[in-house]
A and B are shown apart, each in its own frame.
Chain A
Amino acid sequence: MSTDTRADEGGSLLARPLNWLETQSEEVYAYVLLAPAFLLLAVVAFYPLIETFRFSLLADAVASADPFGEFIGLDNYVDLLTGDTNFTQQFISVSTTDSFPFVEFGAPFLQQALFVTLAFAILSVLFETLIGFGQALVLDQDFYGRRWVRVSIIIPWAIPIVIQGMIFFLLFNPTIGFGTEFMQWLGVFGDNPLSSSSDSFMIVLVADIWKTTAFMALLILAGLQSIDRGLYDVAKVSGASPWQRFRYITLPLVAPALLVAMLFRTMDAMRIYGLIDATAGCETVPSLTCLVIIALQNSRRWATASAVAFLTAVVISAFVVLYLLALRNSEGGVA
């Protein structure tokens, strides 16, 4: 048994568990190796998620040492969904009326975290997909210096969020940046865009598109490069125009990769926090994650914050399910 002597040389403290591992079935071995990963995920993700839900069912106890009060069931959720939370920034605050347009916003549109987040996610993913497709089509060509063009397109993706925020904070700072002047010249922005909700929303949107379009571009590029070039030759011979080649070959074959990329981006966009915190501030453009932090830090309402956090997770899960359904349909269509 040469393995035994080898293992003994390593010291019995290490050798004993290693020897034990050798004698177990593949299944046991698999579970043992997975243990560290699941331990880490349990401490950081599974347990906190359950705790967040438990906290969200308790009452706020703003004054006492323990921030959580008695069990109140779903009251926190009811308050959030009806706009009764006593925040300037609401989760959602809509009521129905008798006359057109039948809905009424209790709080300004851009002070409602759900709408800010959804509008941001939809608009940013839309623009990033369109521009990213353009970048991917450029990178799909063979040309001199392609490597360097690719590097410069990726760099914004790789920079820290705080620096992305700094760039746009400085650009739209009225005394330093030329961004404000330029936008005023276009007639879009007011005097101090970083303290106006609608102007800041646009700034955050542009900043996000600038940084993360590269991610979309790379994923779409991978989809493009997996297409069999022979298909284009066949189409050319059959007399298909470039537009037809794009419409009937490129688009359907890229669709699955495109949808996965959009799923990743949407989830990411719905977690937006750092960029807002580093530019306009959470009070100006309250996203869902911002609302959690506002509830925690400004008013010490931990239970309400937990409810917002859990609802955020629910909203994102709903989006994931929608995308997965779309993805299944698109794959079914191709096959």
Chain B
Amino acid sequence: MSADPTADESADGDDPTVEMAEQAKADEPELDRGLVEAWAAKMISNPDRAYRATFYVATIFFLVTTLFPFYWLLVVALTPRNNLSEVGVFLPAGFNPAAFIEVFQTLPFHRYVFNSFLIATIATVAVLLVGSLAGYVFGRLRFRGRNAMLLLVLVTSFFPPAAFFIPLNRLFNTNVDVLRPLISAGSLYNTPYAIFIPLSAIFLPLSIFILMTFYSQIPDGLEDAARVEGTTRLGALFRVIVPLSAPGVATAGVLTFISVYNEYFFSSLMTDGRPGSWAPMLEGILRFQGEFEVLYNLMAAASIVAVLPVAILVVVAQEKIVSGLTTGAVKE
């Protein structure tokens, strides 16, 4: 008995081809076939249909695998805490939208998210400013040592953050008397500086590269015209080159913002994790792993809250992200 199904299957596989060959010769009308058989025959007679079908299956598969985890996060967030052990795959065990309010009551989660936003914004501005100057130089000026210096910038992005961390940690924990009027503790640990300074440097090379590519495409004539009109060199950069490369600047900005907002290594190590110490959003999410019980539904709700800004950014700026990632790599 067990051999029968396999025999049937092989017959299914063979028959249509043979029949198709016959059909092609004799141009017979459609024979009485099973559904699967008819489908297989159609696929073979028309390979484009088969590719089309594979394409749809693949698309749906990719959509489900990338999006389902987010849906399930929502399922967990909406499940009341007492029912969490019964949470299903597709439907929450109960309905508790209040979790999204509890997130802000149990912890000052808004403060964590604000900290993350502030750090990411400062880092983005710093990277765009410093990166614009460097991108302009590498993209438009000729000078000795250009290639060596560009290589030096790119090489930095190869190294793991761990190789920078130990001396930086020591440096930021040192009390510097000069800083005392500015920062009460006198050291940079537990301040936004301790996170955005290293992150600005780490994500700077990518932005320099993107900006360099865009700035080098502006025709020389436009810059010369601005100079003849009496603008200073820097004026020409910020009044002509940068505005004309707005898409490139936006690309570098979006990528830097997302990268800094998403970063884990320095973000988790440069503060003590309290919201008042400028701890970023990731500490907030991990804090729901409380002392007495783990608040799984709040972890899920907090994750959704924190993921929304980036998700919106991706929808709004997807072209920028795609072009930024690809200029960063393909042009090299």
Contacts and interface: CB of A to CB of B under 8 A. Distances in A.
A257 B330 contact: yes
Interface in A235-254: 242
B300 A138 contact: no
Contacts of B300: 166, 170
Interface residue SS majority, chain B: helix
Contacts of A141: 55
Nearest to A292: B162
A41 B153 contact: yes
Contacts of A71: none
Interface in A1-58: 2-3, 6-7, 18, 21-22, 26-27, 29-31, 33-34, 36-38, 40-41, 43-49, 51-52, 55
A186 interface: no
Given A3-B232, A22-B233, A264-B329, A40 B321 contact: no
A168 B316 CA distance: 27
Contacts of A270: 160
Given A159-B310, A316-B160, A149 B62 contact: yes
A172 B306 CA distance: 21
A170 B62 contact: no
Contacts of B310: 158-160
B296 A44 contact: no
B311 interface: yes
Contacts of B66: 152-153, 155-156, 210, 214
Contact of B329 (A51, A52, A135, A219): A219
A161 B164 contact: no
A176 interface: yes
A271 B266 CA distance: 13
Given A135-B62, A155-B314, A271-B160, A160 B67 contact: no
Interface string B65-97: 111011011001000000011011100000000
A27 to B, nearest CB: 4
Contact of B321 (A156, A158, A178): A158
B285 to A, nearest CB: 5
Given A155-B314, A289-B160, A33 B137 contact: yes
Interface residues of B, number: 90
Contacts of B201: 40-41, 43-45
B67 to A, nearest CB: 5
Contacts of A46: 156
Given A158-B313, A159-B262, A161-B262, A33 B136 contact: yes
A264 B163 CA distance: 18
A133 B26 CA distance: 42
A65 interface: no
Given A21-B232, A152-B67, A52 B167 contact: yes
B150 to A, nearest CB: 10
A55 B55 CA distance: 55
Given A26-B141, A30-B141, A316 B329 contact: no
B174 to A, nearest CB: 12
Contacts of A289: 160-162, 265
B69 A26 contact: no
Given A147-B318, A223-B330, A312 B163 contact: yes
Given A48-B171, A138-B55, A222-B330, 15 more contacts: A33-B137, A34-B149, A36-B133, A48-B164, A153-B66, A159-B262, A162-B282, A163-B306, A176-B296, A178-B89, A260-B330, A277-B268, A278-B264, A288-B162, A293-B162
